[in-house]
Amino acid sequence: MGVTVDKATLLRLYEKMVLIRAFEERFRQEMEAGRLVAYGHLYSGQEAVAVGVCAHLGPQDYTAITYRGHGVAIARGLDTKAMMAEIYGRATGTNRGRGGSMHIADFRHGILGANVVVGATIPLAAGAALSAQLLKTGGVAVAFFGDGAVNQGVFHEGLNLAAVWKLPLLLVCENNLYAQSTPVDYATSVERLVDRAAAYSMPGLVADGQDVFSVYQVAGEAISRLRAGEGPIFLECPTYRFSGHYVGDNTLRYRSREEEAYHRERDCLRRFRERVVADGSLLSQELEALDGRGQALLDEAVRFAEGSPPPPPEEIARDLYAS
Ligand SMILES: Cc1ncc(C[n+]2csc(CCOP(=O)(O)OP(=O)(O)O)c2C)c(N)n1
Ligand SMILES: [Mg+2]
C-alpha cells in the first residue's frame, strides 16, 4: 500500500494500537490472576481496524460498537482509567460501574454504547447518521460489527434503509473469520462479505484489517465520500482475533495452531514496526517510548480502578427512568 502518512499521524496510529493491545492483555492478566471477575471479549489482533477508521473521526461523529469494543473506544479517545474502572464495576467508570466491559458508553467521544446483540450496531448507527443528516451537522456514523452480523435480519433492513435515505453511514465489517466457533464460510452464502453491498446499491470496499496503512487509506476515502453526501458505504476488513471468543475460550476446539501462527505473523503492530523502521520514518526508540507509555497508562488505570469505590446502593435506580 503506497499511502504516505506524516510523522505525527504515524506516531498517533502506533500509540493507539499499542494502547489497545496493552489494555486487552492487562485485562486478560487481571482476570486470569483472579483479581478481576468479569466477562470479556478481547480485541487483540484487530487494532488496525479501529485505529485506521477512527483516525478520520471527530467530535461530530458517532460510533456504535460491539461487546468486542474496547479497541474502538480507545481509538476514539476514551480514558483508559474510566474504562478499566467500568470493567471493575466501580463508581468512577464510564457508566458509573453499571455496564461493565460489554456496555461501555461515552457520548462525549461519540460512543453510543457497546451492544451485545449481534447486528444491533447497524440500526443504532443508522439512526445516528439520520440525525446528522437531518440536523446538517456534517457528522457521519460508523457501525462496527462482525462477520456473524451479516446474516442477521437487522443487517439487511439497516443496509436497505441507509441506502434508500442515503445516510452518512460507514458499515465496518470486521471479518475475523469466526462467529464464536462458527467459521464464516460454514454459515455465509457469499465468499466475500463485501459482495452483500451490491444488493443495496452501495459501494463495497475492502481494506486489509491487519494493516493500519490499508485501513487508514481506504477508510479515509470512504469517510470523505460520506461527508460529501454520497450515501452509505460498506467496508470489509478481513482480520483475526488472536485469542478466543471470550477470555477462557479454548480456540483449539475449532481452529488450528497453524492458522493462529499464520495470523500472528501478520500482527498489525509487528508489520507497522517493521515498515516504519525499514523506511526510516520512525526510530525504534520512538516506538519503544510509546510501548512504555502504554504499559504505564495501564498500571495507572488498574491502580485507579482498584482504588475506586463500588457504586453506592442508594443509586441503584439512577438512570433507569428519564427525569
Ligand atoms: C442476535 C444475537 N444472536 C446471537 C448472539 C450470541 N452471540 C454473541 S457473540 C456471537 C458471535 C458474533 O460473531 P461476530 O459477529 O463475527 O463478531 P466477533 O465476536 O467475531 O467479533 C454470537 C452468536 C447474540 N449476542 N445476539
Ligand atoms: Mg467474527
DSSP letter for 107, please: G
What is the distance between the alpha carbons of residues 291 and 18, in angstroms, rounded to a whole number? 6
SS3 category, 166: coil
Minimum-distance ligand 1 atom for the alpha carbon of 146? 15
Nearest CA to ligand 1 atom 3: 118
- Note whether residue 320 is domain-resident: no
The residues, ordered by sequence, that sit 6+ positions from 122 with a Cβ below 8 Å of its Cβ are 64, 143, 145, 149, 154, 155, 158, 159, 171
What is the distance between the alpha carbons of residues 260 and 288, in angstroms, rounded to a whole number? 26
**CATH code, domain with 44:** 3.40.50.970
The residues, ordered by sequence, that sit 6+ positions from 165 with a Cβ below 8 Å of its Cβ are 130, 133
Domain range for residue 233? Answer: 7-306
Pocket residues: Cβ below 6 A from ligand 1: 68, 116-118, 146-149, 176, 178-180, 245
> Domain total for the chain?
1
Give the CA distances from residue 266 to residues 44, 101, 205, 215, 289, in Å, rounded to whole numbers and listed in that order: 12, 27, 21, 14, 23
Residue 52 pLDDT: 98
Helix (H) or strand (E) holding 80: helix 80-87
Rounded to the nearest angstrom, the distance between the alpha carbon of 179 and the centre of ligand 1 is: 6
Rounded to the nearest angstrom, the distance between the alpha carbon of 235 and the centre of ligand 2 is: 15
Helix (H) or strand (E) holding 70: helix 70-75
CB 159 within 8 A of CB 234: yes
Nearest CA to ligand 1 atom 13: 179
- Note whether residue 314 is domain-resident: no
**Of residues 173, 220, 167, 215, the one with CA closest to residue 196:** 173
Rounded to the nearest angstrom, the distance between the alpha carbon of 166 and the centre of ligand 2 is: 27
CB 201 within 8 A of CB 172: no
- Note whether residue 162 is domain-resident: yes
What is the distance between the alpha carbons of residues 33 and 43, in angstroms, rounded to a whole number? 19
Nearest 10 degrees: Cα torsion 42, 46, 49, 55: 60
Pocket test for ligand 1, best of 47, 180, 182 (most atoms within 8 A of CB): 180
Minimum-distance ligand 1 atom for the alpha carbon of 46? 21
- Note whether residue 321 is domain-resident: no
Rounded to the nearest angstrom, the distance between the alpha carbon of 235 and the centre of ligand 1 is: 19
Residue 316 pLDDT: 86
What is the distance between the alpha carbons of residues 98 and 316, in angstroms, rounded to a whole number? 9
The amino acid at residue 102 is M
Q: What is the pTM of this model?
A: 0.97
Minimum-distance ligand 1 atom for the alpha carbon of 174? 21
- Note whether residue 188 is domain-resident: yes
Ion ligand 2: residues, CB within 5 A, are 146-147, 176, 179
Rounded to the nearest angstrom, the distance between the alpha carbon of 185 and the centre of ligand 1 is: 15
Gyration radius (Cα) of the chain, Å: 19
277-307 b/e (C-beta count within 10 Å ≥ 16 → b): eeeeebeeeebeebbeebeebbeebbebbee
DSSP letter for 18, please: H
Rounded to the nearest angstrom, the distance between the alpha carbon of 6 and the centre of ligand 1 is: 37
Q: What is the pLDDT along the chain (323 residues), one digit of tens a residue?
A: 467 899 999 999 999 999 999 999 999 999 999 999 888 999 999 999 999 999 999 999 999 999 999 999 999 999 999 999 999 999 999 999 999 999 999 999 999 999 999 999 999 999 999 999 999 999 999 999 999 999 999 999 999 999 999 999 999 999 999 999 999 999 999 999 999 999 999 999 999 999 999 999 999 999 999 999 999 999 999 999 999 999 999 999 999 999 999 999 999 999 999 999 999 999 999 999 999 999 999 999 999 999 999 999 998 888 888 87
Other Cβ atoms less than 10 A from the Cβ of 89: the count is: 21
- Note whether residue 157 is domain-resident: yes
What is the distance between the alpha carbons of residues 29 and 11, in angstroms, rounded to a whole number? 27
